[in-house]
Amino acid sequence: MRRRNLLAWAAAGALPGTQASATTLAQVRERGRLIVGLYEDMPPFHVKGRGIDVELGHALAETLGVKFAPLPFQADENMADDLRNMVWKGHYLGHGPADVLLHVPVDRPLIEATPQARIFGPYYRERVMLARRVDELPVLDSLAQLGTHRVAVPGQTLAGWLLIGADGGAYREQLLTQWKDGCEAARALQRGEVAAAAGLASELETVLAGDAAYRIEPLPSPRAPRDGWAAGMAVKRDAADLAEALQAALNGLAQSGRLGEIFAKYKVAWRPA
């Protein structure tokens, strides 16, 4: 296995432990393409070549005067692995790094722990939310008001962990946790299988927004991050001019209203970060 990894890195022009050189803005323009790292299977941001991050990548590349070149990838064990594989080093199997990775948490501990990357450009604020049928749950100021109603929630997510552990595990028996994301949980709510569904705001909104039968509100749990978290971008640490150009492009998209339009296309309320 170690030998195969070394051969893959040799084919990619690098060996493990070597940081890929930073791509400058001039190199991107000379190449004529902006290589954008996109998480696979992250609705509504990217699923099979469509989503908010795909359109944002197109818009950023267009603003820089180059073509959009998506580089989809599966998330690794943690964010540090993703930054290593897609931003500052490249994957040992030979793909990457990208010029820029989208949907990176703009989080100070992560920034301080990853000196090889430049994390910047927050473009959306995500939150954990709860959607409910208004006719079955007209008010939900606390989780205790769920009563015995069933709740759909993706188990291996922050929303799942919060609900599984809430109030000493009081709601575990009524949680359906088999869903892989909040979109699937929201569709279970649509089908009438549950009275409520938890997930990320973007996931619930893209399925349910605009339907008066449902209400989407912050998860009423003191453990849920009150202000959510910001999603932004990352480039290699030394790619300062590329980061500045991307930040300027993002600012222009926000000011012109185009960024909000991209989110609205997927029924997601754009929340500036």
Coil, strand or helix at 150: coil
Q: Whole-model pTM?
A: 0.89
Side chain identity, residue 61: A
CA pair distance 238, 241, nearest whole angstrom: 8
Task: Provide the strand spans (E) within 112-213.
Answer: 117-126, 128-133, 151-152, 175-176, 196-200
Helix (H), strand (E) at residue 37: strand 33-39
Look at the block and give the residue holding tokens 């997927």.
266
Backbone angles phi, psi at 271, to 5 degrees: -110, 105
Q: Residue 222: its pLDDT value, please?
A: 84
CA pair distance 238, 19, nearest whole angstrom: 11
Look at the block and give the residue holding tokens 């754009």.
270
Nearest to 218 by CA among 153, 176, 159, 135: 159
CA 161 to chain centre: 18
CA pair distance 183, 188, nearest whole angstrom: 9
CA pair distance 145, 188, nearest whole angstrom: 20
Rounded to 10 deg, the angle between the 240-256 and 258-265 helix axes is: 80
For 114-200, where are the alpha helices, taking DSSP H only? 158-165, 182-190
CA pair distance 129, 104, nearest whole angstrom: 20
103 neighbors 45 (Cβ within 8 angstroms) = yes
pLDDT in tens, the chain (273 residues): 333 332 232 333 333 444 667 788 999 999 999 999 999 999 999 999 999 999 999 999 999 999 999 999 998 888 999 999 999 998 777 777 999 999 999 999 999 999 999 999 999 999 999 999 999 999 999 999 999 999 999 999 999 999 999 999 999 999 999 999 999 999 999 999 999 999 999 999 999 999 999 999 999 988 888 889 999 999 999 999 999 999 999 999 999 999 999 999 999 999 988
Rounded-to-5 percentages of helix, strand, coil across the chain: 40, 25, 40
Cβ neighbour number for residue 168 with a 10 Å cutoff: 7
In angstroms and rounded to an integer, the radius of gyration of the C-alpha atoms of the chain is 20
CA pair distance 174, 166, nearest whole angstrom: 12
Nearest to 177 by CA among 154, 206, 205: 154
Collect all residues with Cβ–Cβ distance below 8 Å to 267 and sequence separation of at least 6. 44, 205, 206, 207, 209, 210
Q: Residue 77: its pLDDT value, please?
A: 84
- The total number of residues written for the chain in this structure: 273
Q: Structure tokens of 27?
A: 């190199």
